[in-house]
Amino acid sequence: MQQVNLGIIGGGTVGGGVFQAVQRNGALMASRLGVCLRVAGMAVRDVHKKRAVRIPPALLTTNWLGVVRDPQVHLVVELMGGTTTARTVALTALRLGKPVVTANKALLSAHGEELFAAAQQYGANLYYEASVAGGIPIIKVLREGLIGNRITRIYGILNGTCNYILTRMKFEGADFAEVLADAQRLGYAEAEPSLDVDGHDALHKIGILASLAHGFWVNPKQIHVEGIGSITSLDIKFAGQLGYTIKQLSIVKPLERAANRGPAMDGSRVQVTVYPTLVPNDHVLASVNHVFNAVLVRGDIVGDTLYYGRGAGQDATASAVLSDLADAALDLKCGTKSRIPPFVPHERAGAVVPIGEVVSRYYLRLDVVDRPGTLARIAAILGRARIGISSVIQPEGHEGDSVPLILMIHDANHAAMGRALARINRLAVVKSPAVMIRVENFE
């Protein structure tokens, strides 16, 4: 049986999980593939560090370059994280003609175009199933399963930390800071949680999916992102009364004029955003709770498809890496180093729609003085901006100098809403800046 030797770069949670998974299910994979996977070396920062997974000391080294250049290593697995040394590792391997498997979404988000170009130039391949949504095989879905479809919508719950926090806030009525502290204690959130709760982890992931779906590499700097730190238990309560659940939603949505164009769709403009969103309670994504991820993909032929599972963690990520190892091993076995190119830029003239042009419905919560004429003054500002109000709630029983006022707003673009809110926030009857959350109808 043909043997493929792996050089793993990174021995942390994911690296250890992949090593353990290869030992556990390597024989099963060999029986299915006709190829035996063997770990030939693992580069780590500290060979003496105590690890949750026992790795034979003879495999460990601090010299990643030696592992990558080793002629006995056929396939390089980059699991170290970060975007500096990891970039050098991947480029070095590709220049040697060695395929690379990575779980590094930040690396792909920042340097994807460069890495894909190197893979093509040097006749290697780059595999990255584990970079988005952990154990959910969403990269394969877009690259293979739905290759005959024009993708008209992607909606993703792509960060387990955010989803865990919002789930507990909904079911327990707890505040953001309290649940975040619990998430850190339980290991669902990092000690420095900003990458997750500010939306940047999801930004990396949705940028990759948008690029695959629409054929032009999305610059992460063009993706509008908002975190969940401003969401309060009060907003979750009012959303529930209105029939919604708040989720951190990653959205890819081409303008309608682009969705109906010819096969090349040159020049299409696509919304790529990450922000808290009111999701109708009867929609399937409203039921995705705790640390689970889900991605809804709509194709023009297949319709709506849903992919659900654990989006992070040692085992979920290791499962996705094993899938890439299987593909890479089969490619090496058959001598087809680029059976499926890592990325095909088939729509080079595509562009991300600026957030100011993105149209949505909105939930507004205002803290206002409870006196006659307050609503009329607010409605007048929205009316002059040609923004319609679909419903109003002013709950009873609130004590103090101000009361909450909830407005549900018809479709309006972000720029118009921003200008209107700036005027509303300057009103003397408005006691604090308005809270604005978008509402998705999934049409």
Sorted by where each begins, the domain ranges of the chain are 2-135+315-334, 139-310, 358-439
Ramachandran bin of 397, using left for φ above 0, alpha for ψ from -120 to 50, beta for the remaining angles: left
The CA distance from 6 to 323, in Å, is 14
How many CB atoms lie under 10 A from the CB of residue 367?
19
Predicted local distance difference test score (pLDDT) of residue 261 = 46
Predicted local distance difference test score (pLDDT) of residue 341 = 81
**Where does the pLDDT of residue 262 fall: very low under 50, low under 70, confident under 90, or very high at 90 and above?**
very low
Predicted local distance difference test score (pLDDT) of residue 224 = 98
Residue with tokens 């993105």: 358
Predicted local distance difference test score (pLDDT) of residue 113 = 93
Predicted local distance difference test score (pLDDT) of residue 259 = 41
CATH class of 139-310: alpha beta
Which CA distances in Å does 293 have to 130, 147, 173, 202, 298? 13, 23, 22, 11, 17
Residue range 276-302: mean pLDDT, rounded? 98
Model pLDDT for residues 100-154, shown as the tens digit of each residue: 999 999 999 999 999 999 999 999 999 999 999 999 999 999 999 999 999 999 9
Active site residue 205: yes
Among 105, 205, 247, 253, the active-site one is: 205
Model pLDDT for residues 320-333, shown as the tens digit of each residue: 999 999 999 999 99
Domain 2-135+315-334 has CATH 3.90.440.10: no
**Where does the pLDDT of residue 338 fall: very low under 50, low under 70, confident under 90, or very high at 90 and above?**
low
Residue range 204-233: mean pLDDT, rounded? 96
- What amino acid occupies position 397? G
* Cα 123 → chain centroid: 29
* Cα 168 → chain centroid: 20
pLDDT at position 381 over 60: yes
Predicted local distance difference test score (pLDDT) of residue 138 = 97
Q: In the structure encoding, which two tokens stand for residue 321, read together? A: 């890496």
CATH architecture of the domain covering 358-439: 2-Layer Sandwich (3.30)
